[in-house]
Amino acid sequence: MMDFNTDFKPITVQPQEIEKTSLATITAEIGEHSFTAEQYPIVQRMIYATADFDLGRSMVFHKDAVQAGIQAILNGEKIVTDVKMIHVGISRPRLEKHGCEVKVHISDPDVIEEAKRLNLTRAIVSIRKSVKESKGGIYAIGNAPTALLELIRLVKEGVAKPSLVIGLPVGFVSAAESKEELAKLDIPFITNIGRKGGSTAVVAAVNAFSILADSQS
């Protein structure tokens, strides 16, 4: 039986101070890094959401990524996600103010049917559907390496022209490799090195962009 310390007294922090204190702690503990002043707030928010400094330090930015993402939101472009978890996690109010929709097609009946017919992952088919609907926008991929690899293929073929790709699929099969391929493209992207990533990190990145865009509107 687990023995709990009944004398434990939690540190009391006012709700409005939790975020401020957390972000300050991250800045104090991250140490030296190579991120620019415009990149760091995004990395900081990702560490805040995941408590993972290694993930934060592994981030890689295309030189135009931050401004491209901000401008896409200010222009009211769509945000396309690979899974519902990201779709649900993204904060809407700031995005909707600029006319941005958040779209996910992974569970659409036509996507499920087409994936079965072609013997492909639903992630691949959902990306194809997203690109047909809108060649631009922000693509936020945090779960499926196959979705990112398909998007990369479509970019290379000139079919997809995303304003920004946030590519952070997590896992042991093709996750790191898909991110390596993304980093070779000459389009605005944010990715990281290695297997880490995931929906939480991508949600944090998108929400960070919405905060930055809001500050410039």
pLDDT tens for the chain, 217 residues long, are 555 555 666 666 676 788 899 999 999 999 889 999 999 999 999 999 999 999 999 999 999 999 999 999 999 999 999 999 999 999 999 999 999 999 999 999 999 999 999 999 999 999 999 999 987 899 999 999 999 999 999 999 999 999 999 999 999 999 999 999 999 999 999 999 999 999 999 999 999 999 999 888 7
Query: What is the dotted CATH code of the domain comprising 59-104+135-216?
Result: 3.40.50.10230
pLDDT at position 48, please? 95
pLDDT at position 135, please? 76
* Per-residue tokens: 82: 């690979």
pLDDT at position 123, please? 96
pLDDT at position 16, please? 72
Look at the pTM and tell me if it is higher than 0.85. Answer: yes
Q: How far is CA 156 from each of CA 2, 120, 126, 131, 197, rounded to the nearest angstrom?
A: 56, 20, 18, 13, 24
Judging by beta carbons within 10 Å of its beta carbon (0-12, 13-18, 19+), is residue 98 exposed, middle or buried? middle
pLDDT at position 5, please? 58
Q: Are 137 and 162 in contact (CB under 8 A)?
A: yes
Q: What is the DSSP letter of 6?
A: T
Q: How far is CA 142 from each of CA 32, 53, 162, 191, 202, rounded to the nearest angstrom?
A: 26, 18, 16, 10, 6
Q: Give the integer Cα–Cα distance in Å for 75 and 156.
A: 24
